[in-house]
Amino acid sequence: MIALVGVGILLTALYLQAESFVDPQIRAIALQSLLLATLLGWLAWTNRSIDLAIIAALAVGVRAVFIPYVLRRQIRAFRWKVRELRAAHRVTGHALAAVALAIVAWFVFQQTLATVFPEAGAALPFVLLVQGLLMLATRSNTIVQVVGYLEEENAIVYAGALFAQGFPLFIEVVVFLDVLGVVLVGVILSIQRDVTGTPEEASLEELAG
């Protein structure tokens, strides 16, 4: 179960790197969150843990439903055509970079943290975190960057689920609120984008304090 969900999450990460349209990306991050929630739910069931069950429910409600809904609302008028053209020309490069970086991340994990977390699949959250970073580094669309950030947050919750069998509930809830904050910022930036008339970040640089 843990292995299959892990690979599912890895596949969604690869898809996110290779996809250039924004709407499928939002749906993919929703799917990734749903997979994560499945894992959390399963762990909650096997450990009989109420905390984990609450976090699983939060993951479904906030990450798989609410945030994707808010993000999709941002592009509602042009849902079928909003895409990042630069990414569309670099599908091969992005996919191969994602795979290469995953391997590098795994080696780094083996050299540093593998002795502390010897469980099978323990490297996956670390790999996912690096994939989120790669998305933030390679993409310039605001919504896609929020998706990349969500991927990183998913990695943190994933790590919590695997290693600590859930952090204390308070910390997990803070992570969820953190994501909501980012989405809020993303939404504000998107509204600014509508005012400035371009989805690229270059025009928003003048807003930098």
Among the listed residues 103, 164, 184, 207, the single contact to another protein using CB under 8 A? 103
> Could you give the 3-state DSSP secondary structure of residue 199?
coil
46: amino acid identity, one letter:
T
Among the listed residues 42, 66, 106, 163, the single contact to another protein using CB under 8 A? 106
Q: Candidates 115-123, 131-139, 155-163, 193-201: pick the segment binding another protein (CB under 8 A).
A: 115-123
Verify binding: residue 1, another protein, rule CB under 8 A: no
> Could you give the 3-state DSSP secondary structure of residue 99?
helix
Among the listed residues 22, 56, 67, 123, the single contact to another protein using CB under 8 A? 123
Cβ nearer to another protein, comparing 82 with 102? 102
Q: Candidates 22-30, 50-58, 74-82, 98-106: pick the segment binding another protein (CB under 8 A).
A: 98-106
Tokens for 20? 């250039």
User: Minimum Å distance from CB 139 to another protein?
Assistant: 17
53: amino acid identity, one letter:
A
- Site residues for another protein, 125-184, by CB under 8 A, read 127
Cβ nearer to another protein, comparing 14 with 65? 14
CA 163 to CA 150: how far, in whole Å?
20
**How crowded is residue 201: how many other Cβ atoms within 10 Å of its Cβ?**
15
Q: Could you give phi then psi for residue 2, rounded to 5 degrees?
A: -60, -40
Angle at 34 between CA 78 and CA 110, to 5 degrees: 110
CA 135 to CA 156: how far, in whole Å?
16
Verify binding: residue 96, another protein, rule CB under 8 A: yes
Verify binding: residue 101, another protein, rule CB under 8 A: no
User: Minimum Å distance from CB 91 to another protein?
Assistant: 4
Q: 26-56 in b/e burial notation, b at 16+ Cβ within 10 A?
A: bbbbbbbbbbbbbbbbbbbeeeebebbbbbb
Interface positions with another protein (CB under 8 A): 3-4, 6-7, 10-11, 14, 18, 91-92, 95-96, 98-99, 102-103, 106, 120-121, 123-124, 127
